[in-house]
Amino acid sequence: MNIKIVCVGKLKEKYFKDGIAEYQKRLSRFAKVEIVQVPDEKAPESLSPAQMEEVKKREGERILSKIKDKEYVYVLAIKGKERASEEFAKELKDLGTYGHSDITFVIGGSLGTSDAVNKRANDLFSFGKLTMPHQLMRLVLIEQIYRAFMINSGSPYHK
């Protein structure tokens, strides 16, 4: 399975980089995991609603340019569908069984994802109602992907 995580902006903190690298290494026996970072739109702190939409639109265009038609796309969104880790694991297994070998996850920038990105999603995936910083979300997501593979392999990692 080929897993791609498309995200906005460069990771700055070493502790995030180290955590993500650790799970990427652990996942390498199950899947090829690629992390694609698109540039964030430089903008002042205070923006009008129209300017915010414009930032999301521009970042969205960069995100969409990294996604091919054949990819099954989960867009991470607070208002998406929540599921348990076991349900997510089964979904990933089923996607593989039914011929989806290219799975892409999208994490929006600090303002979230554009309508165009949300429309491209095969699934809007919520990790709960809490708003997480997009950089932390990368680490949480990759751990959950690893957990899903461990569940599917019957490992005691998932208790």
Ligand X SMILES: C[S@@+](CC[C@H](N)C(=O)[O-])C[C@H]1O[C@@H](n2cnc3c(N)ncnc32)[C@H](O)[C@@H]1O
- As a whole number of angstroms, the distance between CA 36 and CA 14 comes to 17
Q: How many CA atoms lie within 13 A of 85 on its CB side?
A: 16
Q: Which is nearer to ligand X, 23 or 138 (by Cβ)?
A: 138
Q: Which range of residues in 12-20, 57-65, 90-98, 108-116 is near ligand X by CB under 6 A?
A: 108-116
Q: Does 63 bind ligand X (CB under 6 A)?
A: no
Q: Has 128 been labeled as part of a binding site?
A: yes
- As a whole number of angstroms, the distance between CA 40 and CA 7 comes to 9
- As a whole number of angstroms, the distance between CA 63 and CA 107 comes to 9
The type of residue at 32 is K
Q: Does 95 bind ligand X (CB under 6 A)?
A: no
Q: Does 126 bind ligand X (CB under 6 A)?
A: yes
Which of 128, 154, 156, 159 forms a contact with ligand X (CB under 6 A)?
128
- As a whole number of angstroms, the distance between CA 103 and CA 91 comes to 11
Least spacing, CB of residue 132 vs ligand X, in Å:
4
Least spacing, CB of residue 137 vs ligand X, in Å:
4
Least spacing, CB of residue 71 vs ligand X, in Å:
17
- As a whole number of angstroms, the distance between CA 102 and CA 82 comes to 22
* Direct distance between the N- and C-terminal alpha carbons of the chain, in angstroms, rounded to an integer: 24
Residues 7-46 contacting ligand X, CB under 6 A: none
Q: Which is nearer to ligand X, 89 or 111 (by Cβ)?
A: 111
